[in-house]
Structure formats: C-alpha cells, structure tokens
Amino acid sequence: MERKGSILLERYELGKLLGQGNFAKVYYARDIKTGQNVAIKVIDKDKTLKAGLNEQIKREISVMKLVKHQNVLQLYEVMATKSKIYIVLEYAKGGELFNKVARGRLKEDIARWIFQQLISAMDVCHRGGVYHRDLKLENLLIDEDGGLKVSDFGLSALADSRQQDGLLHTMCGTPAYVAPEVINRRGYDGAKADIWSCGVILYVLLAGHLPFQDTNLIEMYKKITRADYRCPNWFPPEVRRLLLKILDPNPNTRITISKIMENSWFKKGLGTRPAKLPKLEIKETKLPEVKTFSEFSRPSNLNAFDIISLSSGLDLSGLFVGDDRRDDVRFTSLQPASAIVSKLEEVAANMKLKVTKKDGGFLKLVGSKGRKEEVGIDMDIFEVTPSFHVVEMKRSNGNAIDYQKLKDDMQPALKDIVWAWQGDSQQ
C-alpha cells in the first residue's frame, strides 16, 4: 500500500494524494535523485483487468509517449510491479481548470490565452494523428506558471483506428462537450469532434457556465444537435462570430484549426501572457448556472440519468437512428462495455443462441425458438460516458410474438448488469 513519505521503487518519495478513481490513485511525488516534482498515477492491475480497461491504459500510455508539446502533460516513464502500474507524469501544480472556472467566468485576455494554448496542443495532436475525444475542463490542468496542460488521453484514438470510411465510430466523451455527429452515431472525424469540444470550452471560460444545459439529458442532446445556445451579452461580437463557426452542427462546414489560428480575435496577444495569469484572476460575477457543471461533467453524480430511468415513455433511439420500432426495448447499465458484452454472451450461451459480434459495440443474437423462422435480436451498446451505457434490443427477424417471448426470457437473466429498463410498457 502506498503511503505518504514512502520511497517508491527506490526512486520517488511519495507525497499527498492528489485524487483517486475506481482503478487508480494519483500522488504528488519527488524524484529523490533530481529533486523534480512529479505526479504518479498508480493503477491496480487486477481491477483494470476485470473491468476490461487494459487496452485503454495501453492506448493512453502510447499516445502520451507519442505527443510531445509544451501544453500536453508530459509522460516521463512507466514502471510496473506484479500488482501495480506506475505512470510518472509532469506535475501541474495549479490543478484542474474546472476548479478555477467553477468560481466564475475568466477575464477575456486570460480565457483567450488558455484557448490559444488548447488550440496549439490540439493542432500538434491532430497533425500526429491523435484525437483526444474527451476534451473538457476537468482534463485541462494548470501549471505553476499558469500554463495549460492537456491530460487524460484514456479515450483518445489514433488515425489507424478509423474504419474503411475514414471515420471513427465509437461513441464516447462527456455529454455536455460532445459533438452532434458523435451523438448521431453515423461516424465522425476525430479532429472535427475535438474542435467542437474546444468551442464548448471557450464558451465556458468566457461565460462561466455550459452552452448546452438541461436537467433532461435527451433535451440537452437535442440542443447540441441544433447548436441551440445563446451568448451572454458581455461576449464581444468577434467571439460570437468565432463560436458560430466552431459550434457548427455540420462537421463538413465547421471551422478548421488552421482557420481558428488565423482568426483576428484568436491572434490578439498571441504568445504574450496576461499580467495576472498565475492567479487566474476571475470576474466578481458568480453565475448560478455553474451549479449544473457537476451534473454533467461528473458521471458518478449524474442526476440526469435518474430522470431517464424513471421515464417509461422516453425513447433514446431518436438520438442514434431515424426509424421508430415499437418492439425496441432499452436498458441502462453502470457496468463497463466489456462486462455488458460478457454477460450478453453468457446469457446467449445458456439460451443456446448464436452470437455474432461486430465493431462499435454491436451484437446479433439468433435463436431457433420461432415457430416459422429463427428469431433474431440486434443488441447495440451506446457509451454515453465511460461509466454509463445504454443497451438497445430490437428484433431483426422472426415474428413479434416469438421475439417477445425470447425477450421476456432474457430480461431476468440480465439483472446483474441492468440499472434500469426503459421503453417497455410492461416494466
């Protein structure tokens, strides 16, 4: 067990705990040879293996080794023991940008300085074929000099992850920051999706609250797909025009990073730090809307999902597909996608159903229970956040009566992974 003051692997003296999640803890530490301050992410191997997160951790490490930029959190080295993985990272003394903005909106020159650094970091990432896919204030850190550090590449993708159509297809990200094309699930350009998230971040820096807000997650997604937001009256006209180009719901006409860098507002004071930047001075105005940050940016406290689970008539399929099938049924799950897939395969095996898996969280189950033809069920797994999934079941072949019976048999067997059923009049 790691404890303050202990020497880790004869190299690092551990300090205070900076943060922790379900599978990892982050400590402040000091390199006893050089005296350099670092942050060490300690990952529990057994927990990540059971949760199916090994590939995600490998991807995060490989991406951080690949991207070298002053505004991207630097990875120094990776060490491992039989039970733990230790990732030694650059220490960002200022902590999360989220904590600064949650106190109120930033001054325009400070917000622009941060946005300039963010765009510079994304430009280098995209040129190297790296797409972050989860840009948000919690993943932007501040160093002791007020400089920006982009962190947490756990949901990132590389250019070689694209499918034959040249697009990415995994639905991921944080709801309030995610681009419309990611929600629509028709494939998306990782760079353009990141640009949208950068636009949301710029808005928040200047406004002190999110552009797309609603206590009902579905209504919030509708606002995102329509780019339904309003700029506060203190936004300069040139910022409004820039946001209009960034928060363009059509990815084909959305502004590119190179065009953002040519924008006149963006270029003001480029490379010049605001005088009061180290303290990240904020305006005195404190907006009540900031309260909704925790509802959408912290999945473990996401109250919006309670509303979804209690709304029996709520249909999530409109978020992803255009057709309306009356025999569709959905359930929500707090389990990782790997656990959901494993359980579905287990249930299918017990019911003697054939299973076919495809990319993008899709399974097809086929059984011979039908009186006239085989009954087929398509299972789609949608990732709303890394800790919250929606699984949609729908009939692909066979008659409705046989499908209903098969579905009724499956529901009790899935109780271990189901948080709440929805869209079924019998529930």
Task: Give how far the C-alpha of residue 148 lies from the chain's centroid of Cα atoms, to the nearest Å.
Answer: 19
The residue with tokens 């399974």 is: 363
| Beta strand pairing call for 37-44 and 84-90 | antiparallel
Give the helix/strand (H/E) hosting 261.
Answer: helix 257-262
What the block records as the tokens of 217 is 């997650």
Nearest to 165 by CA among 196, 187, 141: 187
Whether 214 is a known active-site residue: answer no
Q: Which among 44, 109, 123, 134 is annotated as catalytic?
A: 134
> Which of left, alpha, beta for 288 (phi over 0: left; psi -120 to 50: alpha)?
alpha
| Residues in contact with 186: Cβ distance below 8 Å, sequence separation at least 6, in sequence order | none
Please report how many Cα atoms fall inside a 13 Å half-sphere around the Cα of residue 187, on the Cβ side: 9
Answer yes or no: are the C-beta atoms of 381 and 341 closer than 8 Å: yes
41 is in an annotated binding site: yes
Spatial separation of the C-alpha atoms in residues 425 and 149, rounded to whole Å: 48
- What residue type is 301 in one-letter code? N
Exposed, middle or buried, 1 (CB in 10 Å: 0-12/13-18/19+)? exposed
Spatial separation of the C-alpha atoms in residues 260 and 240, rounded to whole Å: 13
Binding site residue list: 41
Active site amino acids: 134
